[in-house]
Amino acid sequence: MCASPYWKDIIAEDCPTACGFCETPIGNCTDMATGCNKDLSICVNIYMQDFVKDPLLIAEMTQSKHAHAHSLVVDSELFE
C-alpha cells in the first residue's frame, strides 16, 4: 500500500515512518497509529485497508493482547 497511488496519501499520514515517507531529518514525523513499525506488511496487505485508514482501530487492536492482525477474518462488509 505504500506505493499504491490510492493509498499513498493515507499511509503517508497514518504510518509515515514505517513506510519511509518521512523527510530527513525525521524531526516531528511520527506514526499516528501504534504498531506501524512492528508489522510492515500493513503497508502492502490489501486486507489491512480498514486498519490503515483508521488509526483508532489500529490502536485498539494493538493494545489488545489477543489481537493479531494476521489472524483476522476478512469480512466483506469492512470493504463496502
Residue 67 maps to a domain: yes
What is the extent of the structural domain holding 62?
8-79
Residue 46 maps to a domain: yes
Count helices and strands in the chain by DSSP H and E runs: 3, 0
User: Which pLDDT does position 68 carry in this prediction?
Assistant: 38
Residue 3 maps to a domain: no
Which grid cell is 49? 485497508
Residue 2 maps to a domain: no
Q: Is the pTM of this model over 0.75?
A: no
Q: For the chain, how many structural domains are there in total?
A: 1
CB–CB of 43/18 below 8 Å?
yes
Instruction: List the pLDDT tens digit at each of the 80 positions of the chain.
Output: 667 777 777 777 777 777 776 665 555 666 666 666 677 676 667 776 666 666 555 555 555 433 333 333 344 334 44
- Residue 72 is given by DSSP the state P
User: Which pLDDT does position 74 carry in this prediction?
Assistant: 40
CB–CB of 52/1 below 8 Å?
yes
